[in-house]
Amino acid sequence: MAGAWRYPGIRPRATFGRRLDRAARAGFPATCTVLTMLITQAPFGIPGQSVLLPSVTLASVWFWSLFRPSSMPPPTVFGIGVLMELLGYLPLGVGVLTLLLAHGIAVRWRRFLGQQGFAVTWLVFMPVAAGAALLSWVLVAALTLRLLPPGLSVFQGVLSGVLYPVLAIPLAWLHRAFAEADAD
């Protein structure tokens, strides 16, 4: 009787525990991203630590937009972008726009990248990270009416590309753990 719910017309009862489990699974990618963002803001005293926030956030949004797009819809990405701007003291709209564009690219390329290996996904992410850093630099310069040195943006783009594998490996493990639990 354990597999009976898999047949048409037979559904398990929507108990409170099942609804709570479904909500927790749907909210996990956003919660994971926000917790990672908060960890980057902890006072570790790392030189250049302020650049970690947009880099880690972009990598996390990219990963979850590729592998769990239903759990990372645009309104959630918007909220994460606003939180990134508030934590990183960015002008409002810069982080939101860059994250939403990266999310859109990830969702658009999802079918192709889902069939490829990790290396291809990473290689596609690198120009996205560079474009996001360039867009952020242009938007901040336009909104502050100052030409900023591009070195920090270049560093941010490179750091995003380098951090993606470091984040993707544990996130992939968590994604697989949730997928295996969904099969039960």
Query: Which of 74, 93, 75, 73 is closest to 84 using CA atoms?
Result: 93
CA distances from 91 to 44, 75, 173 (A): 24, 19, 34
Q: What pTM was computed for the model?
A: 0.88
pLDDT tens, residue by residue, 129-138: 999 999 999 9
Helix axes 16-40, 52-67, angle to 10 degrees: 150
Q: How confident is the model at residue 58 (pLDDT cuts 50, 70, 90)?
A: very high
pLDDT tens, residue by residue, 70-117: 999 999 999 999 999 999 988 999 999 999 999 999 999 999 998 999
pLDDT score of 1: 46
Give buried/exposed letters for 124-147 (b at 16+ CB in 10 A, else e).
Answer: bbeebbbebbbbbbebbeeeeeee
